[in-house]
Amino acid sequence: MEPGSALAAVVTAAAAYFIGGIPFGIVVARLVGGRDPRSVGSGRTGGANTLRAIGPRWALVAGLLDAGKGSVAVLLPRLLGFGPALEVLGALVAIVGHSRSPYIGFGGGRGVSVAWGTLLVIQPVAAAAIIPVFVGVILVTRISSLGSLIGSLFGAILVIGLVWLQGLAPVYDVYAVGSVALIWIFHHDNIARLLAGTERRIDRGP
């Protein structure tokens, strides 16, 4: 790797990590005087806990801000002309930053909202297509994590198919596999509860 490329990679990764790490679930909760999402449910800062802590309206605001982090992490290297590989790097690091935030002791969410924000820039057709899958699974099961797991897997398959159909850079396949892998890794405890039949439902209290 050329020195300039290495510097671009470092800048991209650092920016994506610190942007991705902003815990908007906590920020919004504090601004509106609501409960800290970490005080309910799984103790994480993601959408389901934010919903439980501050209700649907403000949870939607926090979710959109989290998605915006992912979009920014991809747009920055794109606007700087760094190329697809660093767009993918930015996307994956932002997901890690969201789930292992440096601002709250390396805790965070599961990476779903920020991953969707990265997808919105990288492959907007896939981002739109997974919404009914995600929402449909949750409406039927009332289990947020199941919607996230199935939606992310569906999105990854769509991205791989669209990369092939549209002749896009193969590195976007790395993004598809890497993003769904991270989401599933960060859902490891949810997966264990799903298999045991003890997973929380979104209409259940703390």
Q: How would residue 40 be classed by pLDDT, with cut points 50, 70 and 90?
A: confident
Q: State both tokens at 55.
A: 């209700």
- What digits encode the pLDDT tens for the residues 146-190? 999 999 999 999 999 999 999 999 999 999 999 999 999 999 999
Note whether residue 204 is domain-resident.
no
pLDDT: is 30 or 40 the higher one? 30
- The burial of 13, by beta-carbon neighbours within 10 Å (0-12 exposed, 13-18 middle, 19 or more buried), is given as buried
The number of domains in the chain is: 1
Cα dihedral sign, 100-14-18-59: negative
Percent of the chain at pLDDT above 70? 96
How far is the C-alpha of 141 from the C-alpha of 133, rounded, in Å?
Answer: 12
How far is the C-alpha of 111 from the C-alpha of 97, rounded, in Å?
Answer: 9
> Which amino acid is residue 57, in one-letter code?
R
The pLDDT value given to residue 41: 77
> How many C-beta atoms lie closer than 10 Å to residue 195's C-beta?
9
- What digits encode the pLDDT tens for the residues 67-76? 999 999 999 9
Residue identified by tokens 């760094």 is: 82
Note whether residue 188 is domain-resident.
yes
> Rounded mean pLDDT of the chain?
93
pLDDT: is 144 or 152 the higher one? 152
Q: How would residue 205 be classed by pLDDT, with cut points 50, 70 and 90?
A: very low
pLDDT: is 134 or 202 the higher one? 134
The pLDDT value given to residue 183: 98
Note whether residue 31 is domain-resident.
yes
What domain range includes position 129? 3-196
Note whether residue 8 is domain-resident.
yes
Note whether residue 203 is domain-resident.
no
- In this prediction, residues 20-46 reach a mean pLDDT of 92
Nearest to 39 by CA among 106, 99, 185, 29: 29
Q: How would residue 203 be classed by pLDDT, with cut points 50, 70 and 90?
A: low
DSSP string, 146-187: HHHHHHHHHHHHHHHHHHHHHT--THHHHHHHHHHHHHHHHT
The pLDDT value given to residue 206: 44
Note whether residue 202 is domain-resident.
no
- What digits encode the pLDDT tens for the residues 112-128? 999 999 999 999 999 99
Question: Looking at the predicted structure, is the pLDDT value of residue 201 above 90?
Answer: no
Note whether residue 201 is domain-resident.
no
Note whether residue 93 is domain-resident.
yes
